[in-house]
Amino acid sequence: MACSEERPRLSNAIFTRLRALLGTSGVDRDARGLARANPDTSDALSLVCRLAHEEGWKIRVEGRGTWLPPDAPADLVVSTVALEQIVSVSPADLVATVQAGASLEALRRRLADYGMWLAVDPPGRPERSIGSVIATATAGPLRHGFGPVRDHVLGCTVATGDGRLVNAGGRVVKNVAGYDLTKLQVGGFGGFGIIADVHLRLRALPRADVTLVARGPRDVLTSAARDLVSVHLLPSALELLSPALAAESEWVLAARFLGTDAAVQADVRRLGSFGDQKWQPLPADRTAAFWSVAARGSLGGPITLRLGVLGDGVDETIDLLSHDLDEGLISAGAGLGMIRWTGDAPIEQLRSLRRAAAAREIPMTLERAPWPVRRALGHFGAYREGVGQLVGRLRDTFDPGQCLTVALEGADNA
Amino acid sequence: MNSFLFDALARIVGSRWVKHRRGELATYSMDGLPTHEAIPGVVVMPGSPHEVRELVRLLHLIQVPFVARGAGTGLSGGALAEEDAVLITLTRLNRILRVDGVRRRASVEPGVVNARLSEAVAPLGLQYVPDPSSQAACTIGGNVAENAGGPHCLKYGVTTNHIVSLEVVLPDGSVTRLGSEQGEPWGPDLVGLFVGSEGMFGIATEITVRLEQMPESVRTMLADFTTVRAASEAVSSIISAGIVPAALEMMDQACVAAVEASIYAAGYPTDAAAVLLVELDGQSEAVGGEAQTVENILLESGARAVRSASALGDRARLWQGRKKAFGAMGRIAPDLAVQDAVVPRSALPGIMDRIEEIRKQYRLTISNVFHAGDGNLHPNISFDRRDPATAARVQLACRDIMAACVAAGGSITGEHGVGSDKLDYMPWIFDAETLGAMRAVRRVFDPAERANPGKVVPVHACREWHAVKSARA
Ligand SMILES: Cc1cc2nc3c(=O)[nH]c(=O)nc-3n(C[C@H](O)[C@H](O)[C@H](O)COP(=O)(O)OP(=O)(O)OC[C@H]3O[C@@H](n4cnc5c(N)ncnc54)[C@H](O)[C@@H]3O)c2cc1C
């Protein structure tokens, strides 16, 4: 591996080698002067990885740079920005094939032309690349009704750390041919390769989209949410937002209903007649803005965590967060669970939070943080017995030269 | 296989649970697929997860291959073991360990029969959704291994969407827990990777599933068509209208005829070229509206008539023919080769025509009953395997059907798995590099490739991957 004095010289050499491979337009430099490859096909991506593997160069993978900070130490950057094609949309099959660097917003617009959508509303900005959403498995409030990110990915093409191209899954909605390698890439944080393109499961755009909000003390809202889940109401999202995240003075519980006019109206009527919570419908022209404020809210601090809890554990776990860190910016699935916390905290506190969470059987995933925090803590930690070995061997398989600079596990686990 | 091994196995499970006599072994020589057969070296039936661990540890020590088996209803020859292997039958592990109605979770042993779980949670107003047509017999362990589907997986997803956590005995005898009750993994999604691994990554000894609330209202509709093409087009129209039915199933004339001639007769019109079963569920108001839309689409697509039912008994009658279709077809000839393939939904009309051509070309009896909503075909060939010439034609026809589905952009299996039946087709849809990746992942779990050897990945077609030992682990 390159030592730091040699960096500039090596960087020039890498730059030249990459240009020879990808042409002048395929290579530039990042803000710190590091050579950056911008392959625009999976083949070009695989070539770059192969070269890096042979030379022992460390790779930092970047999408559109709006979620994880581009700060992992590396000899070169591989960016997916040029992998931005929406390759195909098949409305009749409800399937699209998209390159990993395409932005969510570009995809949304293109699909809307066909009356389709991808039922995923991850935290962050609309410019986020679809690849980053899949690699980090960051689902937003719509996971309540439409499931986690993995449910929307039918297949993908991945370049491994040594430049092999693996075509996992397929383009059909039901498929059990071979092992389900796609699942490893969804939420793999790029530790098992770089996603080049994906096949996505689409839905027809719903006719009606109505959001109602209730405000009040947190425990009142969480208990209202739990009651709602046990009656026949089918919200697509049932999200609890902390005051800071929602930019309001109180906690907010937001219920979003998507579907046909008749179904949504029926749900809204029932919601109104259920319990003693006061629900206010958001004006139609404010719905999109409300959810986009909530999504961007998760960028309001340098660190974002995801805690795997069920609905009945939400309150207690928010207490734990508030006690160990601070209340921060919280978005939580009040019905079916999952908490996302954004804020800032020293590494030691995060480490002890992970331990405290693990003691309660709650997995904590570091979704987003500056490199020193990622390196120390790892995206994952507190593995169950045997899991660490499996993950280590899987990484050796997909990145034998350890070219991909991804802190799946932190120094704690090493 | 020698008596030393039989004794060692018997010390773990007790001698009455070790079967090694020829006659006893014959029972385990097939699964639900009549075209493949193999006699295992010995069959052993553990009675607890602990015994499974002890067995696998022993087999690791002496490096003997093993095959896990549930109910043996698999349709790809997945649970067959050769004579050098030990068949571990898991049907005695049939306890429902926990049901948590509030959290909507259940933990079960792998030998629990699918339908039993749904019955057990029904009093709580809950259901375990994946409902393979074999649900009265197949096990949850087998469902996990095959990533089984069923009619109601169109709206609610297949097995993988309902499994949150697994306790697994790895082929070296070590035990690990994957996933969490909440559904959020501790690390990469190893539960997702394990589901569908066809018994080649280890044995699942405890399975925690997600339960769903029973829908408030359900409407079942039966429509009959004078052409298969019109029925296929109706399927596409329903889906692209933005309606996701709970189930959307098709049966062709041959299938309807078999059902109506059997004791399962359900009153389906025998002169129809195809019938569609559409089930909608959800809130009563929404279901009513959607039912109207679906009925209009069906009629516009050329349905001669649409019958509709809401009450449980009436719906069951509409479903009866579909549920018993395999049983009814089984009466036509001694053997039934149930095939499984997928095409993009828009390719349905074309592929149904092609299957009909193949049927004529090979002079076979093919009936189709399948999950039309997700393009998951089941062309079923009735034949007599004692006639080698027919058996050969069956194999050729299956091959041609698979080729046609792959050419249409589809897959060689939607829910029955690759097993030993579809090894040859794997290179049609995966390149050597990807097959190599699959094999390499398998070796992560099973370096010696002793768990269910020879299935799923055609080893000769793989590009070699070297698993490098590094300091990382
Ligand atoms: C009439 C009929 C209808 C069917 N309908 C459907 C359908 O609608 N949808 C569908 O998906 N399938 C269907 N099937 C196929 C079959 O029922 C499923 O594949 C089922 O999941 C197999 O379960 P089993 O318990 O019989 O498993 P088996 O056939 O015994 O085994 C199947 C595979 O699972 C492995 N295995 C079993 N238990 C474990 C375990 N605990 N850990 C690890 N590996 C294990 C075995 O090694 C083998 O590879 C049908 C079959 C029949 C005969």
DSSP assignment of B283-334: -HHHHHHHHHHHHHHHHHTT-SEEEEE-SHHHHHHHHHHHHTHHHHHTTTSS
Provide the pLDDT for residue B2.
87
Percent of chain A's residues with pLDDT above 90: 87
Chains A–B, number of C-beta pairs less than 8 Å apart: 278
Say which CATH topology domain A3-79 has: 3.30.43
Predicted confidence (pLDDT) per residue in A141-185, tens digit: 999 999 999 999 999 999 999 999 999 999 999 999 999 999 999
Verify whether ligand 1 is closer than 6 Å to residue B93 (CB atom).
no
Ligand 1 pocket test target in B146, B339, B450 with most atoms within 8 Å of CB:
B146
Instruction: Decide if pLDDT at B245 tops 50.
Output: yes
Region B389-406: mean pLDDT is: 96
Contact A386 B174 (CB under 8 A): yes
Q: How confident is the model at residue A10 (pLDDT cuts 50, 70, 90)?
A: confident
Percent of chain B's residues with pLDDT above 70: 98
**Measured distance CA(A368)–CA(A375) in Å, rounded:** 12
Provide the pLDDT for residue A260.
87
CATH 3.30.70.2740 fits B333-407, yes or no: yes
Domain ranges of chain A: 3-79, 86-204, 208-276
Say which CATH topology domain B96-213 has: 3.30.465
DSSP assignment of B10-66: HHHH-GGGEE-SHHHHHTTS--S-TT-----SEEE--SSHHHHHHHHHHHHHTT--E
**Measured distance CA(B286)–CA(B290) in Å, rounded:** 6
The secondary structure of residue B113, as a DSSP letter, is B
φ/ψ of B145, rounded to 5, equals -65, -35
Predicted confidence (pLDDT) per residue in A202-259, tens digit: 999 999 999 999 999 999 999 999 889 888 888 999 999 999 999 999 999 999 999 9
Q: What is the biggest distance separating any 2 CA atoms in chain A, rounded to whole angstroms? A: 70
Region B64-69: mean pLDDT is: 98
**C-alpha A341: how far from chain center:** 14
Q: Which residue is it, tokens 């039993």?
A: B116
Residues B410 and A172 sit within 8 Å (Cβ to Cβ) = yes
Instruction: Decide if pLDDT at A2 tops 60.
Output: no
Domain ranges of chain B: 3-89, 96-213, 217-327, 333-407, 430-472
B96-100 sheet: strands from edge to edge = B96-100, B105-108, B203-210, B163-169, B175-179
> If you measure from the C-alpha of residue A247 to the centroid of ligand 1, how many angstroms do you get, rounded to a whole number?
51
Chain B: give the shortest CA distance to residue A297, in Å.
22
**Measured distance CA(A393)–CA(B172) in Å, rounded:** 15
Say which CATH topology domain B217-327 has: Alpha-Beta Plaits (3.30.70)
Residue of A nearest to B442 (CA): A179
DSSP assignment of B116-144: HHHHHHGGGTEE-----TTTTT-BHHHHH
Contact B410 A172 (CB under 8 A): yes
Q: Which of A171, A365, A392 sits opposite B344 (nearest CB)?
A: A171
- Chosen from A172, A270, A314 to mutate, greatest number of chain B CBs within 10 A: A172
How many helices (H) and strands (E) would you count in chain B? Answer: 16, 20
**Measured distance CA(A231)–CA(A237) in Å, rounded:** 15
Instruction: Decide if pLDDT at A328 tops 60.
Output: yes
Enumerate the residues of chain B whose CB falls inside 8 A of the CB of residue A181: 193, 434, 437-438, 441
User: What's the Cα-to-Cα distance from A272 to each of A208, B432, B434, rounded to whole Å?
Assistant: 17, 58, 53
> If you measure from the C-alpha of residue B34 to the centroid of ligand 1, how many angstroms do you get, rounded to a whole number?
14
Instruction: Decide if pLDDT at A127 tops 60.
Output: yes
Verify whether ligand 1 is closer than 6 Å to residue B46 (CB atom).
no
Provide the pLDDT for residue A158.
98
Residue of B nearest to A227 (CA): B102
Q: How confident is the model at residue A7 (pLDDT cuts 50, 70, 90)?
A: low
Region B402-416: mean pLDDT is: 97
- Short-list B149, B273, B293, B272, CA closest to B219: B293
φ/ψ of A378, rounded to 5, equals 80, 150
For residues B264 and A137, the model is more confident at: A137
Instruction: Decide if pLDDT at B466 tops 80.
Output: no
What is the number of the ligand 1 atom nearest to the C-alpha of B131? 8
The secondary structure of residue B77, as a DSSP letter, is S
Per the prediction, chain A carries an average pLDDT of 94
**Measured distance CA(A318)–CA(A339) in Å, rounded:** 8
**pTM greater than 0.80:** yes
The residue ranges of DSSP E strands in A63-207, in sequence order, are 76-79, 86-90, 95-99, 116-117, 153-159, 165-169, 194-201, 203-204
**Measured distance CA(B122)–CA(B125) in Å, rounded:** 5
Per the prediction, chain B carries an average pLDDT of 95
What is the number of the ligand 1 atom nearest to the C-alpha of B414? 11
Token pair for B287: 């279901």
Q: Which residue is it, tokens 């921060």?
A: A328
Look up the ipTM and state it.
0.96
Residues A102 and A86 sit within 8 Å (Cβ to Cβ) = yes
Chain A: give the shortest CA distance to residue B213, in Å.
8
Provide the pLDDT for residue A1.
43
Q: How confident is the model at residue B470 (pLDDT cuts 50, 70, 90)?
A: very low
What is the number of the ligand 1 atom nearest to the C-alpha of B201? 43
3-state secondary structure of A61: strand
Token pair for B51: 């015994």
Provide the pLDDT for residue A8.
65
Verify whether ligand 1 is closer than 6 Å to residue B421 (CB atom).
no
Verify whether ligand 1 is closer than 6 Å to residue B452 (CB atom).
yes
Provide the pLDDT for residue B241.
85
Q: Which of A260, A265, A312 sits opposite B290 (nearest CB)?
A: A260
Provide the pLDDT for residue B214.
94
Percent of chain A's residues with pLDDT above 70: 97
Residues B90 and B68 sit within 8 Å (Cβ to Cβ) = yes
Contact B468 A400 (CB under 8 A): yes
Q: How confident is the model at residue A74 (pLDDT cuts 50, 70, 90)?
A: very high
Q: Give me the CATH code for the A208-276 domain, please.
A: 3.30.70.3450
Domain B3-89, what architecture? Answer: 2-Layer Sandwich (3.30)
Region A79-108: mean pLDDT is: 96
For residues B399 and B243, the model is more confident at: B399
CATH 3.30.465.10 fits A86-204, yes or no: yes
Q: How confident is the model at residue B330 (pLDDT cuts 50, 70, 90)?
A: confident
Enumerate the residues of chain B whose CB falls inside 8 A of the CB of residue A386: 170, 174-177
Q: One fold for both B96-213 and B333-407?
A: no
